[in-house]
Amino acid sequence: MNDSNRYILTIKCPDRAGIIHRVAGALLEVDGNVLEQAQFTDEDSGVFCMRTKFESPVADLDAVRTVVNSRVMSLGPELTLRHEAEHRRAMILVSKHDHCLLDLLYRFGNGELPIDIPVIVSNHDHCREIADRYRVPYFYLPVNPDNKAAQEARVLELIEEYSIDVVVLARYMQVLSSDFCEKMAGRVINIHHSFLPGFKGARPYQRAHERGVKLIGATAHFVTGDLDEGPIIEQSVERVNHAHTTADLVEIGRDVERVVLSRAVRLFAEDRIILTGQRTVVFA
């Protein structure tokens, strides 16, 4: 049995008895063997979430999907099913700061990040050489007040054209329109350079320095129309002290940002994130 017969299945639906039994029944029907399974029921909202990785001698995705659907469709689930080997496709948006982009591409290049990166978009031309090095098409779409809507429309076209599953804002310094955010809900990941909800908005390191915090952080979250308020995927912090200047915080922060963003992208790449309203269930 080769890797193309490994599947990842996620289900979100209202909780009730017997869901796991139905799924397990479907897997048995395709001679499936569970390799990894996680389940969580949010007691507040009554939402059941599940992620299963299994292998099956049945190689045809549609055949497996038909069996699963026949068992669980009456539950009214949100369901995803795919071959593990058929990677999610990510578009990276970047401005001038290149550390997150470099980090994602490095992990992509060495096989650590199971995702495809078919296209990079930027409002600056700075990172073209990096994209070239990894042979990823690079679209330079400069943004000004007059062309902002048009350029965003162009991004949406590229998303369509390249069959993009997820847009990764790797320090992209443009606010996306509400319309864009709504269309792409749950499919745009941003890295914010603070430990949210502290220091929402601009210049978080400057403000962290002024406030005299003893730890700085970074937050990867889904983007919504409400700036820096989207569902959090991953966070981390690093210790700092009085002797660190704002410039020092920026440097230290780079290390936190790239690790947090790459973790979030990997969680997405492996279908480990399930959105439940304003919160995320992360099967890490």
Residue numbers of the site for a second copy (CB under 8 A)? 15-21, 24-25, 27-28, 31-43, 99, 102, 106, 112, 195-199, 210-215, 217, 231-237, 241-243, 245, 251, 254-255, 259, 276, 278-282, 284
Number of other residues whose CB lies within 10 A of the CB of residue 132: 11
CB of 185 to a second copy, least distance (A): 16
Give the nearer residue to a second copy in terms of CB position, either 130 or 156. 130
CB of 281 to a second copy, least distance (A): 5
State in angstroms the smallest separation of the CB of 38 from a second copy: 6
- 26-29 long-range contacts, Cβ below 8 Å, gap at least 24? 26/67, 26/68, 26/70, 26/71, 26/72, 27/52, 27/54, 27/56, 29/67, 29/71
- In the bound complex, what is the minimum distance in angstroms from residue 64's beta carbon to a second copy? 14
- Annotated active-site residue 228? The verdict is yes
Q: Would you say 79 or 102 has its CB closer to a second copy? A: 102
Nearer to a second copy by Cβ, of 123 and 204: the residue is 204
The residue written with tokens 């943004």 in the block is 143
Among candidate residues 42, 165, 228, 248, the one labeled active-site is: 228
Place of tokens 């992620």: 51
Q: Which is nearer to a second copy, 157 or 226 (CB)?
A: 226
Active site residue ranges: 228
